[in-house]
Structure 1
Amino acid sequence: MAGDLERGVGALKKFRSRVDTLLTELEGGAGGSRQVALDRVTRGSLGVGLQFAEADDFFTQYNRVHTALVQLSKSLGDQIELLHIAVHAADVGYDNVDEGARRRFHEIRTRLAKEYDEAERAKAKAQDKGAQPERQDATSGTTDLG
């Protein structure tokens, strides 16, 4: 495995090219944050004016999952962009990276660190309250609280 490890500027350029391709495919495809954000189900599409608790529950869970997917897609795009800038800086030297790219790198890094910290605090808060994370049964699809 160590013999497969490429070194030097050529390897960084190759990696950067792969990151660029991934970023282009992610943003241009069905998994791009813009496309994921557009694919929404409204409560009305499940029936208007009906007393249907299951549809309400489904819609609530759909919105929760959809929001999480949009956030995940954006986070992945940010992380790929962060890697792209870092690989470029390693290739040309930090002093040769333009100020806009440096600022963007630090903005993304700060935002991702903040999101991570918020998620960790939320997880700790849930654990303090004794909440058990939901587990989904692989065969029936039902959720189990522990």
Structure 2
Amino acid sequence: MLDAESGGVGGSGGGSDLERGVDALKKFHGQVTALLRDFEGGEGGSTKVAEQRVSRGSFSGAQLAFAEADGFFTQYNRVHRELVSLSKTLGDQIEMLTIGVHAADVGFDNVEEDMRLRFHAIQSSVEQERTVREAQRPTTPAEKSAEREPARDNDTALPTDLG
């Protein structure tokens, strides 16, 4: 067991727990800021992800009826939208954590008003997005199965004579 004289709980040897905690938060803040800068500037940033698009014509001729290509393109667009949303949300949450770490360092009352407003705006946005996603989440096994495997057109409608 650690005693007070050796710097254990309640001890004064080596600095207080609060000082060590603040130093750790400052270090964490610097790391998060660097990660956010690298993330947004890299290929995973919301701007870069949003720019990466594939057209329907990339899978087959634009006017050629091809049910599988249409289904794939639909799923591609859905996944792309989700990735753009995830990238933006992740960046916002990292920013919110950065503000939170800063507030823990200087005290929430000492945080600039615009940073407090930004923190609460991000927090509200994340909560609202979570609520919407939970409402859209399938609840029955049939709904879950339908979400994983999209409905297909009647396969008999496809041409069988390819020669």
TM-score interval, normalised by the smaller of the two chains: 0.7 to 0.9
- Residues 21 and 129 of structure 1, relative CA distance in 2, 3 Å threshold: same
Deviations 1:67-125 (A, max 9, x none): 000011011001100000000000111111111100000000000000011111111xx
Aligned to 1:51, what secondary structure does the other structure show?
coil
Q: Which amino acid aligns with 1:101?
A: M
Aligned to 1:108, what secondary structure does the other structure show?
helix
Counterparts of residues 1-146 of structure 1 (less than 5 Å): 7-46=20-59, 47-123=61-137, 126-128=138-140, 130-133=142-145
Structure 1's consecutive aligned runs of 4 or more residues displaced over 3 angstroms after TM superposition are: 133-136
- Structure 2: any 5+ residue segments left out of the alignment? 1-18, 152-163
What is the RMSD of the two structures over their aligned residues, measured on CA atoms?
A: 2.5
TM-score, structure 1 length as denominator? 0.82
Aligned to 2:53, what secondary structure does the other structure show?
coil
Q: Percent identity?
A: 55
The separation in 1 between residues aligned to 2:132 and 2:142, in whole angstroms, is 18
Aligned to 1:119, what secondary structure does the other structure show?
helix
The separation in 2 between residues aligned to 1:134 and 1:79, in whole angstroms, is 31
Aligned to 1:132, what secondary structure does the other structure show?
helix
The separation in 2 between residues aligned to 1:97 and 1:56, in whole angstroms, is 51
Higher relative contact order (CA 8 A, sep 6+): 1
Deviations 1:19-46 (A, max 9, x none): 1011011101111000000000111222
- Residues 12 and 39 of structure 1, relative CA distance in 2, 3 Å threshold: same
How many matched pairs?
133
TM-score, structure 2 length as denominator? 0.74
Q: Which amino acid aligns with 2:122?
A: I
Deviation at 1:134, TM superposition (A): 6.5
- Residues 129 and 106 of structure 1, relative CA distance in 2, 3 Å threshold: same
